[in-house]
């Protein structure tokens, strides 16, 4: 993973973390992966395929959480082995790090857990890349402590991802000052273009979203120097089993990324 990811990261373009919110089944995941890979190869965008093997942070008890941990992780591993791309999934407790690391290349720490020392250290100890999402409640400067915990545990492979900041009870905003602030920590910085548009804590118990603004979030992130974009995408968001309200329709991915490549090229010339 280390050489594969570094080779891709050093391509000169931004990199993309993309895939469905949750692993719903092998057939649909492989279909999504094949389409994303065709797009990113055409545009020369390094890809890390994303999928959650289990959704631990749900509003309601009856919400979809997954198809089974090992079954979902094996599907992620099949994507990696079939298409030759790194894969990333999130973990929710320290004792999940070693299990997930056996199947994936990047361990992701959810935003609500970014201060949990035992999870950060356990992820670091696997030797995998660790992608830490900035807490909705944290200033970007505070992410230095997450970086320190991982690096002081002997792992230099850290990525930070912004996913917006809590704004009132049911909305998020993105403070783009956070991208250069976190880049000064000498780690790659990613903008989560879909979760930053969530509208949480709805009275229905189902998180809302504002997907028509995904391109706006992505444009601004590339313009201020984000190293990567994180985009959850699905061929049928309305019927997705998790986070459908803020996912990008897969049919729109190529057009969006094409525009982002133009912006990136212009920024690199400045």
What string of H, E and C letters represents the secondary structure of the chain? CHHHHHHHHCCCCCEEEEECCECCCHHHHHHHHHHHHHHHHHHCCCEEEECECCCCCCCCCCCCCCCCHHHHHHHHHHHHHHHCCCEEEECCCHHHHHHHHCCCCEEEECHHHCCCHHHHHHHHHCCCEEEEECCCCCCHHHHHHHHHHHHCCCCCCEEEEECCEECCCCCEECCCCHHHHHHCCCCCEEEECCHHHEECCCCCCCCEECHHHHHHHHHHHHHCCCCEEEEEEECCHHHCCCCHHHCEEHHHHHHHHHHHHHHHHHHHCC
Tell which phi-psi region holds residue 147, choosing left (phi > 0), alpha (psi between -120 and 50) or beta.
Answer: alpha
2-268 classified as CATH 3.20.20.70: yes
Q: How far apart are the first and last CA of the chain?
A: 32
Residue 48 has φ and ψ, to the nearest 5°, of -120, 115
pLDDT at 64: 75
- Per-residue pLDDT, 210: 78
Question: Domain boundaries in the chain?
Answer: 2-268
pLDDT tens digit at each of 270 positions of the chain: 444 455 555 567 999 999 999 999 999 999 999 999 999 999 999 999 999 999 877 667 767 778 999 999 999 999 999 999 999 999 999 999 999 999 999 999 999 999 999 999 999 999 999 999 999 999 999 999 999 999 999 999 999 999 999 998 889 999 999 999 999 999 999 999 999 998 876 555 556 677 899 999 999 999 999 999 999 999 999 998 887 788 999 999 999 999 999 999 999 988
Q: Who contacts 75 (Cβ-Cβ below 8 Å, separation ≥6)?
A: 23, 25, 26, 29, 30, 51
pLDDT value at position 21?
A: 93
Instruction: Return the pLDDT at 1.
Output: 42
Contact 140, 182 (CB under 8 A): yes
Record the pTM.
0.93
Please state at what angle helix 117-125 crosses helix 143-151, rounded to 10 degrees: 40
């Amino acid at each position: 993973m280390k050489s594969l990811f570094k080779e891709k990261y050093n391509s000169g373009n931004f990199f993309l973390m993309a895939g469905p919110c949750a692993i719903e089944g092998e057939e649909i995941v492989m279909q999504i992966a094949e389409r994303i890979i065709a797009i990113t190869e055409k545009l020369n965008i390094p890809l890390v395929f994303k999928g959650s093997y289990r959704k631990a942070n749900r509003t309601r008890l009856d919400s979809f959480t997954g198809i089974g941990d090992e079954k979902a992780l094996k599907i992620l591993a099949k994507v990696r082995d079939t298409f030759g791309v790194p894969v990333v999934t999130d973990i929710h407790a320290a004792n999940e790090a070693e299990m997930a690391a056996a199947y994936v290349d990047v361990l992701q720490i959810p935003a609500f857990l970014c201060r949990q020392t035992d999870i950060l250290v356990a992820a670091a100890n696997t030797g995998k890349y660790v992608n830490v999402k900035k807490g909705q409640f944290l200033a970007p400067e505070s992410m230095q402590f997450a970086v320190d915990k991982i690096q002081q545990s002997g792992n230099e492979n850290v990525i930070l991802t912004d996913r917006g900041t809590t704004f009132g009870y049911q909305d998020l905003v993105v403070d783009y000052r956070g991208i250069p602030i976190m880049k000064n920590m000498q780690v790659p910085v990613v903008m989560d273009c879909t979760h930053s548009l969530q509208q949480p804590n709805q009275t229905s118990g189902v998180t809302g979203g504002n997907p028509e603004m995904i391109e706006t979030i992505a444009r601004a992130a590339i313009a201020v120097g984000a190293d990567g974009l994180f985009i959850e995408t699905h061929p049928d968001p309305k019927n997705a089993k998790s986070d459908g309200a803020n996912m990008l329709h897969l049919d729109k991915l190529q057009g969006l990324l094409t525009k982002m490549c133009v912006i990136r090229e212009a920024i690199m010339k400045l």
